[in-house]
Amino acid sequence: MRILIAGAGIVGSNLAAQLSVEGHKVSLVDNSPEVLRPLTDKLDVLPVVGLASSPSTLEKAGIADAEMVIAVTHSDEVNMIVCALAAEKNVPMKIARVRNEEFSGDNPLFDPKKLGIDKVINPEQIAVDYIIKYIDTPGATDVADFAGGRVLVRGFMVDEDMPIANHTLIELKQMEAMQSVLVVGIYRNGKLTIPNKGDVVIKPGDNILVVMARQSLEPFLSLINKRMGETKKLVIYGATLTGVGLAGRMEKDVDNIVIIEPDIERAKLASQKLAGTLVLQGEGVDLDVLREAGVGTADYFAAVSSDNEDNLMASLLAKKEGAKRTIVLTTEPRYISVLKSIGLEVVINPRLITAGIILQHVRKGRVLSAIPIRDSEAEVLELEAMAHTRGVGRPLHKIWKKFVGGSVVSAITRNGELIIPDGNSVIKPGDNVIVFALPEAIADVENLFVRK
């Protein structure tokens, strides 16, 4: 596929890297040669220096022959113009990153399709959605939803005192709360593996990834000594679009919400918008301010300011003061593993998540969603099974062993019913199939769901 990407920031560069490795013909547009140079030295892409909103620049990048245009510059307006110009050239798929909720909200004041945009991506909305999934799932280290929220993928760290610890997968399957739960991944000693034998033991210190029906979440939490509805107090650092959006969404569910914001004007605006939230003007790295916010009794401390370093320091201070769990937003991918290694449980990079969401529109076959897990060390694909594809009509143990390694069919939804499959399960046309796959297996999985 010929794909034009406008904007070589974190989202654009990650997309270019992934798509070029997968064999797509990618052109990458940015107005900074300094940004493009190191990328094109290591990626097989066509670099084009110039303004993305310029028709002549887009012509050089091959917009006339593009099958997809992805506009992810830092400017909403530029992204919309790029898609409008792509529509004039009859490009089949046009995706734009747009933060302005008047264009990207659930009820936009202006329909972006009138500008030729097929899909709008809002990183702030995505970040809020992910943070809420973490808050709604006590103890989760990874989250993703599929089949309209009916199927959950969740990650959890295993402690010695959990009922699931030191049991084999076969033993776990005999527990009532595990009947509709499948362990699809184990992160141990820095390596993510897919357990393919029943005698695999879940050990303390493992980070396990499980797939389940939504109604199975509460019973499963009892096996890891967690329970729903634990969040009574939430402290947020940063009255950004993400911070205000998070508070607004959580006001009906959490009794006590506090926002800390250094900027006086931004704090005033947040206070006017949020009737049920206390807004404090002050620095998140100031211990006195944190104590005034009552961070020591917070169930969650979410650092979502626009400053990566302040988010890190504020979270460490909140943790030291007694906050039970921290959620840190960072725009720097290199920080993710470091932040997790020093005890900050949840680290979110909305730009990497955005890149993952965009990828689903590039995948082969009928891919309904594609979400990266474990900092892109794996991916969960939701695919629609069609007739006359290799993945349909035969028992899984015959198909998967022959064609695909490094992946597992995690769930099948059929006529609204969730099926946790075994080796004898058969995928039928019309099924939605959820597959957990390591990076090297993704292409093979896609090929199983492409018409012969």
Could you tell me the pLDDT band of residue 357, with boundaries at 50, 70 and 90? confident
- 14 within domain boundaries: yes
What is the dihedral angle through the alpha carbons of 242, 245, 251, 252, rounded to the nearest 10 degrees? -130
How far is 288 from 290, CA to CA, in rounded Å?
Answer: 5
Domain boundary among 192, 223, 254: 223
- 228 within domain boundaries: no
pLDDT at position 440 over 90: no
pLDDT at position 403 over 80: no
Do residues 352 and 375 make contact, with C-beta atoms less than 8 angstroms apart?
Answer: yes
Same domain, 204 and 247: no
Same domain, 411 and 441: yes
How far is 23 from 25, CA to CA, in rounded Å?
Answer: 7
Same domain, 342 and 368: no
Length of the chain: 452
pLDDT, residue 363, reads: 66
How far is 70 from 118, CA to CA, in rounded Å?
Answer: 10
When pLDDT is averaged across residues 298-302 and rounded to a whole number, the result is 96
Per residue in 423-432, pLDDT (tens digit) is 899 999 999 9
pLDDT at position 327 over 80: yes
pLDDT at position 118 over 80: yes
Same domain, 92 and 190: no
State both tokens at 361. 């529109």
Average pLDDT, the chain: 89
Share above pLDDT 70 across residues of the chain, in percent, rounded to a whole number: 94
When pLDDT is averaged across residues 358-369 and rounded to a whole number, the result is 72
Same domain, 138 and 162: yes
CATH number at residue 403: 3.30.70.1450
Could you tell me the pLDDT band of residue 376, with boundaries at 50, 70 and 90? low
Choose between 1 and 86: higher pLDDT: 86
- 363 within domain boundaries: yes
Angle of CA points 415, 420, 421, to nearest 5°? 100
Do residues 328 and 311 make contact, with C-beta atoms less than 8 angstroms apart?
Answer: yes
When pLDDT is averaged across residues 9-24 and rounded to a whole number, the result is 86
- 387 within domain boundaries: yes
How far is 259 from 282, CA to CA, in rounded Å?
Answer: 10
**SS3 readout for the chain:** CEEEEECCCHHHHHHHHHHHHCCCEEEEEECCHHHHHHHHHHCCCEEEECCCCCHHHHHHCCHHHCCEEEECCCCHHHHHHHHHHHHHCCCCEEEEECCCHHHHCCCCCCCHHHHCCCEEECHHHHHHHHHHHHHHCCCEEEEEEEHHHCEEEEEEECCCCCCCCCEEHHHHHCCHHHCCEEEEEEEECCEEECCCCCCCEECCCCEEEEEEEHHHHHHHHHHCCCCCCCCCEEEEECCCHHHHHHHHHHCCCCCEEEEEECCHHHHHHHHHHCCCCEEEECCCCCHHHHHHCCHHHCCEEEECCCCHHHHHHHHHHHHHHCCCEEEEECCCCCHHHHHHHCCCCEEECHHHHHHHHHHCCCCCCEEEEEEEECCCCEEEEEEECCCCCCCCCCEHHHHHHHHCCCEEEEEEEECCEEECCCCCCECCCCCEEEEEECHHHHHHHHHHCCCC
Could you tell me the pLDDT band of residue 46, with boundaries at 50, 70 and 90? very high
Per residue in 82-95, pLDDT (tens digit) is 999 999 999 999 99
For the chain, the domain total comes to 4
Could you tell me the pLDDT band of residue 103, with boundaries at 50, 70 and 90? confident
pLDDT at position 365 over 60: no
Do residues 204 and 165 make contact, with C-beta atoms less than 8 angstroms apart?
Answer: yes
Per residue in 250-297, pLDDT (tens digit) is 999 999 999 999 999 999 999 999 999 999 999 999 999 999 999 999
pLDDT, residue 227, reads: 81
CATH number at residue 53: 3.40.50.720
- 298 within domain boundaries: yes
Same domain, 341 and 261: yes
Same domain, 26 and 73: yes
Domain boundary among 121, 146, 167: 121
Could you tell me the pLDDT band of residue 358, with boundaries at 50, 70 and 90? confident
The residues, ordered by sequence, that sit 6+ positions from 219 with a Cβ below 8 Å of its Cβ are: 176, 177
pLDDT, residue 283, reads: 95
pLDDT at position 44 over 70: yes
Choose between 367 and 317: higher pLDDT: 317
Total-model pTM: 0.82
How far is 230 from 359, CA to CA, in rounded Å?
Answer: 34
Same domain, 117 and 170: no
Give the range of the structural domain holding residue 142, as residue numbers without chain letter: 128-223
Domain boundary among 121, 148, 180: 121
Same domain, 402 and 434: yes
pLDDT, residue 354, reads: 80
How far is 326 from 22, CA to CA, in rounded Å?
Answer: 35
Could you tell me the pLDDT band of residue 164, with boundaries at 50, 70 and 90? very high
- 48 within domain boundaries: yes
Could you tell me the pLDDT band of residue 331, with boundaries at 50, 70 and 90? confident
How far is 383 from 51, CA to CA, in rounded Å?
Answer: 36
pLDDT, residue 196, reads: 82
Same domain, 359 and 347: no
When pLDDT is averaged across residues 114-134 and rounded to a whole number, the result is 90
Same domain, 39 and 7: yes
Same domain, 344 and 256: yes
